[in-house]
Amino acid sequence: MAAPAGRRVPLALGLTGLVFALFGLVLFFVLPDVVRDQVIKNVRIDPNSIAFSMWKDVPVPFYLSAFFFEVMNPNEIRLGAKPVVNQRGPYVYREYRFKTNITFHDNGTVSFLEYRRFYFQPDLSHGMEEDYIVVPNILVMGAAVMLETLPQLLKMLISGALAGMGQGAFMNRTVGEIMWGYDDPLIDVLNNFVPGLIPFKGKFGLFVDLNYWQSDECNMINGTSGEMWPPFMTPSSSLEFYSPDACRSMKLVYEQSGVFKGVPTYRFVAPKTLFANGTDYPPNEGFCPCRESGIQNVSTCRMNAPVFISHPHFYNADPVLVEAVDGLHPNKEQHGLFLDVHPVTGIPMNCSIKLQLSLYMKKVSGISQTGQIKPVVLPILWFAESGAIEGSVLKQFYTNLVLIPSVLEYVQYICIGLGVALIVAAIVLEVKRQTRHDKSTAECSPVDSYTPVLREAQAELTGERQQSSHHGDEATRNAREKSPREPDPRTEPPQSSETTPLLQDDSKTNQNDAAEA
């Protein structure tokens, strides 16, 4: 049966509101699970996932920026003076990463070989690869410290050989040679005196990666390779990844939330314990031999030379290290490392890993090249590996993982709100319609407003009136029947004029008789 015309509008509004509200509730309860399933499906390192190609051949442009500490007073340092350095750079390289020999294992892990290629970028650099810079002679000064425990005579022989080759405590080399290696006959000479002292042959450069440590924990490659992390992060999450530049695994902690080009991110930074010594932070004991807190010995992956790694300019390190060298100015903005990660997917959006290499130098008896050098950890260079998602990759990421989920989230709340509003409007309209209907009925039937007693009294009164009216009608009819019928002038002829006087005379006679009586 069709609804009355007045009820159609509230009914239509109510049904429409119910549909909107149900749709919004379905989105509210179902959408999070759908998004979660899609994220898990597409961020796994699996040949069928969207993220696999990005992980295999990183489309994000990475840059390696190197800053050198040029020694301004090398001769004075040999005489025991405080080192003075001047930062030069950056010398910027475009970095390309790609992986080969990718193998998936039954335990849910994947193994691979990663290659990196670097191309110098003159337009982004403050200088050229051919620039000469005075830096510590890592082979000479490193070998001197490593030879310290050898017999005095052997050390004097080695010192003489070094002098004959023109080797000193400092060297003047080009940027390209310091970074990527140079041929040095000193390697063969040192290995002839002490076999295996320099564990390689060929060119010597700073960017040679090994990873040998003194404890199981420190020798572990923990975390990821640094391109992706598990999804659905929280502020209590941490980032662990292996850094070939630091020759170790690193753990970063949450600092704050932010936004990178419209994409919400969590920023993770290095805790102060990252390069703390074993005394301040026992888990780092395996990276010793230790010195001041804030620097870490990486000699086992830097040709056994006494090389230390830290934050640039000894940021977050023992102040003694900064005070020992003039020209250092540590600050968080320029020298703190960070990773900005999209918390839902675990994909890094923006990163800058900054590390410094320093050489421990001191006077070694029997090695004349060391002169009167006071013990010091002298910075050689610091570098920043940085990259950020941009271009079409950023646009696709923003659309699929930020824009669409956000729109659907807004839609669910709009549908719920609109549905509730329509249902309330339908109820209000129906109440008003019912009120008008009741009022109209009351006006058309006023008896309904009386009590039962009043209704009965009114009914009796109405009956008496109807009965009285009936008697009056009957009396009227009887009177009409007894009265003479008036002549109809159209059907009866008029009376003669003589008749009227006779009637008048009779009337007078009757009046006289009445008077006499």
> Tell me, what's the pLDDT at 347?
85
- Beta strand 62-71 pairing with 85-104: antiparallel
CA atoms within 13 A on the CB side of 460: 5
Residue 302 near residue 204 (C-beta atoms within 8 A): no
What are the φ/ψ torsions at residue 468 (nearest 5 degrees)? -60, -40
**Is 426 within the bounds of a domain?**
no
Residues in a beta bridge with 260? 263
DSSP-derived 3-state class of residue 197: coil
**Is 474 within the bounds of a domain?**
no
**Is 186 within the bounds of a domain?**
yes
**Is 177 within the bounds of a domain?**
yes
DSSP state of 182: B
**Is 313 within the bounds of a domain?**
yes
The pTM for the full model equals 0.71
> Tell me, what's the pLDDT at 148?
83
DSSP state of 58: -
Residue 52 near residue 45 (C-beta atoms within 8 A): yes
What are the φ/ψ torsions at residue 112 (nearest 5 degrees)? -165, 165
Distance CA 178, CA 205 (A): 6
> Tell me, what's the pLDDT at 453?
54
DSSP-derived 3-state class of residue 360: strand
Distance CA 462, CA 469 (A): 11
Token pair in block for residue 113: 């070989």
Side chain identity, residue 115:
Y
Domain that holds residue 110: 61-389
Tokens 């199981």 map to which residue?
216
The CA dihedral of 500, 502, 508, 510, to the nearest 10 degrees, is -120
Residue partners of 293: CB distance under 8 A and separation at least 6: 275, 276, 277, 279, 280, 281, 317, 318
Closest of 266, 264, 263, 225 to residue 242, by C-alpha? 225
> Tell me, what's the pLDDT at 76?
95
**Is 402 within the bounds of a domain?**
no
Token pair in block for residue 260: 């990178």
Residue 433 near residue 6 (C-beta atoms within 8 A): yes
**Is 297 within the bounds of a domain?**
yes
- Beta strand 238-243 pairing with 295-297: unpaired
What total number of domains does the chain contain?
1
Residue partners of 390: CB distance under 8 A and separation at least 6: 60, 61, 261
CA of residue 361 relative to chain centroid, distance: 45
Tell me which residues of the chain have a pLDDT lower than 70: 1-6, 42, 50, 195-202, 208-227, 244-246, 278, 282-290, 300-304, 442-517
Distance CA 399, CA 389 (A): 14
Token pair in block for residue 77: 């340092």
Distance CA 86, CA 376 (A): 16
* Contacts made by residues 437-444, CB under 8 angstroms, sequence distance 24+: 437/6
What are the φ/ψ torsions at residue 356 (nearest 5 degrees)? -125, 140
Tokens 């179902």 map to which residue?
30
Residue partners of 14: CB distance under 8 A and separation at least 6: 422, 423, 426, 427
Distance CA 229, CA 239 (A): 7
**Is 329 within the bounds of a domain?**
yes
> Tell me, what's the pLDDT at 32?
81
Distances 375 to 83, 114, 372 between C-alpha atoms, Å: 11, 38, 9
